[in-house]
Amino acid sequence: MTPTLRGRWQTRLLLLTLLGVPLTGLFAWAYRDGVTPFALLGYVLLLGFVWDVVYDILQTLRWNRDWPPLFALLSTLWEGVFLWVALTWLAEQGIALPGISPLLTAARFAAHYLAVSLTVWAAAHSLLLLLFPHWRFRGGQWLSRWE
Amino acid sequence: MLLPSASSPAGFPEPTGNCHACRQSIFWSPATCPWCGALPPYQDVPLDLPGSFAQPRVSLRHLRRQGNPVTESTYLALGGGLGSFVWVDYLRICGAACAQIAVIGAEAHPHARFQRLCNHSQISGEQRIRSDSGARPDNIWGWPGYAAEEVVGLLRAHQWRAAVRILWQILSEPALAETYAPRAQAVYMSLEREMARIGWQQMLRQGRICALRQTDDGRYVAAYFPQNSQSLHFVVAPYVHLSLGYAGIHLTPELQTYRHAYHDFRLAVQAYEQHEHIYRQLAQHGGVLILRGRGIVASRILQRLDEIRQASGQPIQVIHLLRAPLTEDAVYGWARRHTRDHWQRQPLNWPKSAFGGDLRAALEAALPAERQTLLQAWGGVTTSDRRDWQEVVERGLREGWYTLHFGVVEQIKPNGRRRLVVHLRDQASPPASRRLVADFLIDCTGLNTALNAHPILADLRDRYRLPQNKMGQLVVTPDFELKELRNGGGQVFLAGVMALGNAFAPVDSFVGLQYAAQRTVSVLVREGAPNLRPLDARSSLSQWWRWQRHREPSP
C-alpha cells in the first residue's frame, strides 16, 4: 500500500484504537497505572498526525512516491525515541505532561511502545488488507468507499 | 527460410483461414497473424449477423424467432482472459452464483494468452515477471503475497539465505533492495487453484465473440460462435464486462513491408512470435543480431542472448538499434527517474503510487484533457529495475559484444546470403543514410492498442458513437463504465489495456484489473444488482478465510 496523507491519518487512528487501546489496557494492568499508558498512547497518536505530514512531504521526493515497510518500521521507532527524549527533556525542565507519571522508566516505556507499535506495523501490512479490500487502492483510507 | 507467396501458395499447405483483421491467408497456426500481428482467434469465420444487429437496439422477440440459440445470464464477461477472470472472481466473492455468470472467451484458461506471449518473449515459468508480490489475480486482498509463499517454500527446503534475501526485498523494496518479482509459474499455479475454487469451467463458454448490442428490454446481447461451431449463439444479460486485451502484437510498418515483399518470417521477427530457431542457430554458429525496443522484453532477450553467448562460446554480436539517444532523466515534481545507458528503469510500468497512492488520486481528480500529460510524465517505455539486467548491459558495452546504434529504420531487405540489410536514417543534420547487416532482427516494440484494430470495440464505437479520449481509447468513467452504452438498468464496463487514458493509469496490470473489478462491482452493489452484497470488514475476512482454505466462496 502506498499511503496518502489522509490514508496515513485514518490508518493510524484505526490501528491505535483497534489494537493500541486493548494492548495499552494490558500494560495499564501490568504497571498498575491506569493513566500513564493511555496518556502515552494519546501523545503517540497526536504527534503521529504531525509526523505523517512530514512523511507525506518526504514521499514526494521519491519517484515511486511510496513508503516501503522498512521505512514505516524505522519511522515508528524514530517516533518512539523522539517521544522519550522529549518526555525526559521536559521533565528536566520541570514540565510534567498531563497524565504522565514521574515514575515512568525507560524500560516500561520501551516495552509498552514497542508492543503497540510493532503490532500496529504488522497489522498495517496484513490485517487491514483483509478487512478492507479498498484500503490498498485508496492510499490507506478505510473510512470512505468508492462514491 | 523464405516462404512462398501468400497469393500463390505452390507446394504449400492449404490455408487454415483468413485473418479477421487483414483478411490475408494464414498457412499454419502461428500465435499471431504473421501479416498484421492480430492476436487469435484471428481466423475469419463467415459472419452472418442477423439483420436486427444493424440496428442499435435489437428486438429480442425477432432474435428468438430466427431460431439461433439464445440464452440468458445476469453477469456476462466478454474476453475470457485475466481481466474477465478477476471480475468474475470478485463477483463470486461478493455473492454471485456460477449459474448467474457467463464468460465468453477463446481460451480454456484465463492466462493462456498471457502465458504464450511470455513464453515467446523468453519469460518461461521459471523466469520472474515484472509484477508486485501483492499483485495476485487469484487473490483480491493481495495477502499473503507471492513473496510470502516463496519464503515459506524456501524455509521448508532449508534455503535460509534465499528466504532472508526475499524477506529483505519485500521489507525495503524499491528503496534499498531490488523489487521482488514473482516467478511466472507461481502466477499460473495460483490461477489454476482459484479457477477450480470459483468454478470457472462451469461459467466459461469457449468461442469467438462477434458483436455486442443493446436490447429493447434494457439489457445487452452478445453474438458469438462457440468453439467448433459455425452457428451463431446469443447471450442476453443486463451487466456486461468487456476485457478483450490487446488487438495484436505491434508489427512495425517496415517489418510488414518486408514480409509482404519477401515472405520471410524467420530472419526478422517480432519478439512475441515464436522465434526459438534464432537462439538455436546463434548457439551453433554465432552471428549478428539486431534488437529493437527498450522495454522489459528487450531486456530479457538481451539476457537470453548473453546466456547463449556464455554457454556456447560462439561469437554473438548484439546491435541495439534505437530510434534516438535517451540521456535525460524523467522528472515529475521534485522526483526524477534516472536514465542509464539509454535505458529507463523503474520497478513497475508506472510509479508505485499510481496504483493506489496520491498519483492515483491525482489522475482521477485531473480533468480529462490533463490526463495525457500526467500519463506521459509517469509512463513511457521503461524496463525493470533489475541488477542482473543492468549488469548484462554494462558488461556487454565493456566487452564490446553489445553496441548501441541510433536511427530510424527505413527499409529491411535480404542480402541474398540469408542475411538482412537494414537501411537507417540517422537524426544528424542533414540526415545521413546508413546500413547495418545482420543475421537476424528481433523487434521488441510491444503490443498493439489501436482501437481501430479491435473489431468489437471499433464496432461499438461506430454503432453507438462512443467518445474517445486523448489517447484514442474509449472514454470510461472512473468506475470503468461505458456511460453512453447505458441501457435502462443495464450497464457495460470496460477494463484492461483498452481503458487506457482515463482516470486510472496501470489498467493493464494485475493490480489494475483488480482495481477495475472492485470499482465496477461496487457500482453493481450500489445499483442493487442481483445477489451481490457489499464486502464489509466481516464478510471480507470470512471470504478470505474461505480462500485460504480453498473453499468455494459462500453465497
Of B39-43, B102-106, B117-121, B490-494, which gets the smallest average pLDDT? B39-43
Partners of A122 on chain B (C-beta within 8 Å) are: none
If you compute the radius of gyration of chain A from its CA atoms, what whole number of angstroms results?
16
Which pLDDT does position A72 carry in this prediction?
A: 98
Q: Does A65 touch chain B (CB under 8 A)?
A: yes
Contacts of B351 in chain A (CB under 8 A): 63-66
Predicted confidence band of residue B310 (pLDDT cuts 50, 70, 90): very high
Rounded to 5°, the CA angle A85-A86-A90 comes to 120
Q: Higher-confidence residue: B6 or A7?
A: A7
Would the CB atoms of A133 and B141 count as touching at under 8 Å? yes
* pLDDT at residue B42 tops 70: no
Handedness of CA B330, B380, B352, A53 (dihedral sign): positive
Is A137 an interface residue toward B (CB < 8 Å)?
Answer: yes
How far is it, in rounded angstroms, from Cα A85 to Cα A108? 14
Query: How distant is the Cα of B357 from the closest Cα of chain A, in angstroms?
Result: 5
- Domain locations in chain A? 5-138
Residue B87, pLDDT > 60, answer yes
Banded pLDDT at B46 (limits 50, 70, 90): low
Topology annotation, domain B251-327+382-445? FAD/NAD(P)-binding domain (3.50.50)
Position B151, amino acid: V
Contact assignment for A73 to B173 by CB distance below 8 Å: no
Contact A63 B356 (CB under 8 A): no
- Tell me the angle at which helices B510-526 and B82-93 cross, rounded to the nearest 10 degrees: 40
Cα dist. B233→B19, B64, B88, B100 in Å? 21, 11, 21, 18
- Cα nearest neighbour of B133 on chain A: A1
Model pLDDT, residue B6: 41
Choose the closest CB to B357 out of A2, A130, A134: A2
Residue intervals of chain B classified under CATH 3.50.50.60 are 57-114+189-247+450-537, 251-327+382-445
Residue B219 has pLDDT above 90, yes or no: yes
CA closest to B330 among chain A residues: A63
Answer whether residue B19 shows pLDDT above 90: no
Q: Nearest Cα to B127, choosing from B510, B388, B391?
A: B388
Cβ pair A126:B141 closer than 8 A: no
Amino acid type, A142: W
Confidence at B2, pLDDT banded by 50, 70, 90: very low
User: Which has more confidence, A35 or B54?
Assistant: A35
Given a cut of 80, whether residue B503 has pLDDT beyond it is yes
Residues of B in contact with A4 (CB under 8 A): 357-358, 361
Cell 489475480, residue located: B137
pLDDT in tens, B446-487: 999 999 999 899 999 999 999 999 999 999 999 999 999 999
Note whether B476 and B482 are within 8 A (CB): yes
Q: Is A3 on the interface with B (CB under 8 A)?
A: yes
Give how far A115 is from chain B: nearest CA, Å: 19
Min distance A76 CA to chain B CA atoms (Å):
14
Question: Shortest CB distance from B357 goes to which of A63, A65, A126?
Answer: A65
Paired with B221 in beta bridges are B213, B236
Q: Number of residue pairs across A and B with CB atoms under 8 Å?
A: 106
For A63, the closest of B140, B173, B337 (CB atoms) is B337
> For a pLDDT cut of 90, what percent of chain A falls above it?
96
Cell readout for B309 is 553467448
In chain B, the residue whose alpha carbon lies closest to the alpha carbon of A134 is B518
Q: Which residue of B has its CA nearest to A139?
A: B357
Q: Over the stretch B328-368, which tens digit does the pLDDT of each residue have? A: 999 999 999 999 999 999 999 999 999 999 999 999 999 99
* In the predicted structure, residue A10 carries a pLDDT above the cut 70: yes
Residue A48 phi/psi, 5° resolution?
A: -60, -40
Q: Per-residue pLDDT for B540 more than 80? A: yes
Summarised one tens digit per residue, pLDDT across range B521-532 is: 999 999 999 999
Distance of alpha carbon B362 from alpha carbon B51, whole angstroms: 46
Interface contact A4, partner B, CB < 8 A: yes
A59 touches chain B (CB under 8 A): yes
For A60, which of B170, B175, B333 is closest by C-beta distance?
B333
**With a cut of 0.90, is the ipTM above it?**
yes
- CB-nearest partner of B356 from A59, A136, A145: A136
Partners of B173 on chain A (C-beta within 8 Å) are 68
- Single out the residue of B330, B305, B309 nearest to residue B320, CA to CA: B305
pLDDT, tens digit (0-9, with 9 covering 90-100), for B129-182 = 999 999 999 999 999 999 999 999 999 999 999 999 999 999 999 999 999 999
pLDDT at B9: 40
Predicted local distance difference test score (pLDDT) of residue B361: 97
Find the CB nearest B540 among A62, A126, A133: A133
Q: Mean pLDDT score of chain B, rounded to an integer?
A: 93
Model confidence band, residue B17 (pLDDT cutoffs 50, 70, 90): confident
Alpha-carbon distance of B404 to B539, in angstroms, equals: 55
**pLDDT, averaged across chain A:** 96
Structure confidence by residue, pLDDT tens digits, B122-139: 999 999 999 999 999 999
Can you name the residues that pair with B65 across neighbouring β-strands? none
Nearest residue of A to residue B477 by CA position?
A147
For B249-296, how does the pLDDT look when each residue is reduced to its tens digit (9 = 90+)? 999 999 999 999 999 999 999 999 999 999 999 999 999 999 999 999
Mean pLDDT for B529-553 is: 97
Say if residue B430's pLDDT is above 90.
Answer: no
Helices (H), B317-386: 358-365, 368-378
Contact B352 A126 (CB under 8 A): no
- Between CA B186 and CA B195 the distance in angstroms is 14
When scoring A64, A132, A144 by the number of chain B Cβ atoms within 10 A, the one with the most, hence best to mutate, is: A64
End-to-end CA gap in chain A:
20
Q: Hey, which residues does B292 pair with through a beta bridge?
A: B321, B443
The residue of chain A nearest to residue B547, with distances taken between CA atoms, is A130
pLDDT for the residue numbered B1:
38
Residues of B in contact with A145 (CB under 8 A): 522
Residue B41: the pLDDT is: 67
The more confidently predicted of residues B52 and B441 is B441
Tell me if chain B has a CB within 8 Å of the CB of A6.
no
CA distance A97 to chain B (A): 35
Average pLDDT over residues A62-67: 96
> Which grid coordinates belong to B3?
516462404
Would you call B143 and A4 a contact, using CB atoms and an 8 Å cutoff? no
Across B203-213, average pLDDT: 94
Q: Which CATH architecture has domain B57-114+189-247+450-537?
A: 3-Layer(bba) Sandwich (3.50)
Residue A73 near chain B (CB below 8 Å): yes
Question: Measured between alpha carbons, how far is B512 from A12 in angstroms, rounded to an integer?
Answer: 26
* pLDDT tens sequence across B365-384: 999 999 999 999 999 999 99
